[in-house]
Structures are given as C-alpha cells and as structure tokens.
Amino acid sequence: MDSHYDQVMKARAGADPTATRLYFAYSTILDRAAFEEWRSQHGYDFFELPEGRLAEALDVDLVYDFPSRWWGGRVAGLKDAAGQKVYGRLFEIRGQDWPIIQHKEGFVTSMCVERPVRVRVEGQEVEATAFVTNPRRASADGPVSPRFVEALVRGARSAGLPEAYVERLTRGE
C-alpha cells in the first residue's frame, strides 16, 4: 500500500453508494493482469473492475504528452482531434469505487485530470469521463516510453480492441 490508500478509503466512505459513473478507459488499466497486480499492491483486492463494453471516444486522439520517470519516457493522454477516435472500454463504476479509479489513473497525485468525452458504444453515443494529462504537467520532452507502449498494446489486445488499432498502438502512434 502507498500513502494514498487512506485518502482513497476516506473518499470511498463519503461517496454515494447508489451513484454510478461512466468511465472510458483507453490505457494500461485495460491490461487485466497488470491491473490486478496494481490492485493487490495497493490494498484494493476487494474491488473488481467490471467487464466493460468495447467503445470508441469520438473527436479525440492519443498524444504522448506526459514524461514519466516510472515508465522511462512519455506516456499517452488524449487531445481534441476532430474526426479521430480512440478505442477502449466503457465501464460503469459505482460511486464508492470511483476513488480507486482516480488513484489508478493518477488523479490523486495530480498527474492527470478528469475530462468528459463523447463515446460510441453499441451504436449509441453517451458522455463518459476519461483521464488525461494534467495540462500543467504536459510536455513533449524526451522519447515515448517503449515499455508503456508494450503495456498499452497488451491491454488493447486483452480488451479486444480492433486489430488495426492495436497495430497503430504498436507503432507508438
């Protein structure tokens, strides 16, 4: 466990247990094995990430804009990009579990911020929340992290994202 566990558990205790949030995940959380390892390391074994549904965020694209010491290079966020789309999975997360998602995504440490995204899922459009690089921490300095790209590709395959999209991720695009 890390120092954020108590903060997350306090937020969980104060959350509305009847509320839910739509969460668009497009990054390394899609790698189930890696997520389960993270979950265990941080004391959240009680939390199960739901199955989620294949989805695409509309009018956004990936941008490698966060230099991460842990990943050894830049990692991906989202940027506005008319006509582009990013594939991922759409999850319905209970309000009391949202602080765990915030912790995993780096919101708790101010690495990222929440933003609304328009998502197409099963032929319908909905609004969901995605996590993107905190603008105060965004930078194009340094190389893209090869290790992050490998995890991104693993997660995309694990999540059943379209093969053409996985190939694009493999190229670090």
Count the residues in the chain: 173
Task: Express each pLDDT in 87-99 by its tens digit.
Answer: 999 999 999 999 9
The more confidently predicted of residues 92 and 2 is 92
In angstroms, the CA 173 to CA 171 distance is 5
Residue 173 has pLDDT above 80, yes or no: no
Q: Where are the domains of the chain?
A: 3-168
d(CA 20, CA 115): 16
Helix, strand or coil, per DSSP, at residue 77:
strand
pLDDT, tens digit (0-9, with 9 covering 90-100), for 25-68: 999 999 988 899 899 999 999 999 999 999 999 999 999 999 99
Mean pLDDT of 73-81: 97
Stretch 100-111: mean pLDDT: 93
pLDDT of residue 146: 95
The pTM assigned to this predicted structure is 0.94
Using 50, 70 and 90 to split pLDDT, how confident is the model at 1?
low
| Alpha-carbon gap, residue 80 to 18, rounded angstroms | 32
Backbone angles phi, psi at 78, to 5 degrees: -120, 150
pLDDT tens by residue, 106-137:
998 889 999 999 999 999 999 999 999 999 99
The CATH superfamily label for domain 3-168 reads Gamma-glutamyl cyclotransferase-like (3.10.490.10)
Give the DSSP H/E element, type plus range, for residue 11: helix 5-14
